[in-house]
Amino acid sequence: MEIILNNCGKNYHRSWLFQGIHLNLSFSLPNQAPLRLAVLGANGAGKSTFTLMLAGQTDPTEGSISWFNNDGVAINQSQWHKYVSLASPGMELPEEFTLSEWFDFHQRIKGFQSSITLRLLMDICGFSQNTQSKQLLTFSSGMKQRVKLCSAILGEHPLVIVDEPLTNLDKAGTEVFQTLLSDYLGNRALMIASNREDEWVAHCTHHYTIGETAIKAI
């Protein structure tokens, strides 16, 4: 698969977050290492907006983004969600749901890998057995972040995007993130948006800094 960004820029309230982004992202290619890309930048640089653009949840102010499948056929923007999973601090969970209800809902809407059960997800997250019947609104911020990361990484989508993945996570939560990547990401492409080296440096082989024109070869 391939994503092509042509002269992309995003403007909010008459101020440009970024401009002039040209990228050609190829991933899931035979006999090649999967894409592992970090999108870096200071707070307010536009990292989160950039990931939302790639996921088709917001449009660039200028320029264009094109998706192509393995046969080189263009994918309509309305279908991008079938190819990408996203976890970010700003993502809302249906807090009136119990964990069990959320699992069933997410399974229907986005889907998990065939081996993933609710019990396995709770084991990965370090949740006790009675957690499945608790509403998500009772979860701590760290527990919610674990659920968000699971929703993205335990699926089967070719591209996984995680924005500031260690937000609200303690040491144990950080280990959950490491386990998800090492045991369940597989050969799928990964993009991490971050301003912290400990979030991406061990996982990404290339990086792009919002606001700069240089990008390492992909």
Supply the pTM of this predicted model. Answer: 0.91
Structural domain that includes position 110: 2-209
Does residue 215 form part of some domain? no
CATH, residue 182: 3.40.50.300
For residue 103, the tally of other CB atoms under 10 A from its CB is 22
Does a structural domain hold residue 38?
Answer: yes
Domain count, the chain: 1
Interatomic CA distance for residues 195 and 169, integer angstroms? 15
Per-residue pLDDT of the chain in tens (218 residues, 90 and over written 9): 899 999 999 998 888 888 899 988 887 666 678 899 999 988 888 999 999 999 888 999 999 999 998 888 999 999 998 999 999 988 999 999 999 999 999 999 999 999 999 999 999 999 999 999 999 999 999 999 999 999 999 999 999 999 999 999 999 999 999 999 999 999 999 999 999 999 999 999 989 898 654 444 34
Q: Which two tokens stand for residue 21?
A: 């982004």
Q: Is residue 216 part of a domain?
A: no
Cα separation of 176 and 182, whole Å? 10
Cα 13 from Cα 1, distance rounded (Å): 34
Q: How far is CA 165 from CA 62, 153, 212, in A?
A: 28, 11, 23
Closest by CA position to 100, among listed 123, 134, 72: 134
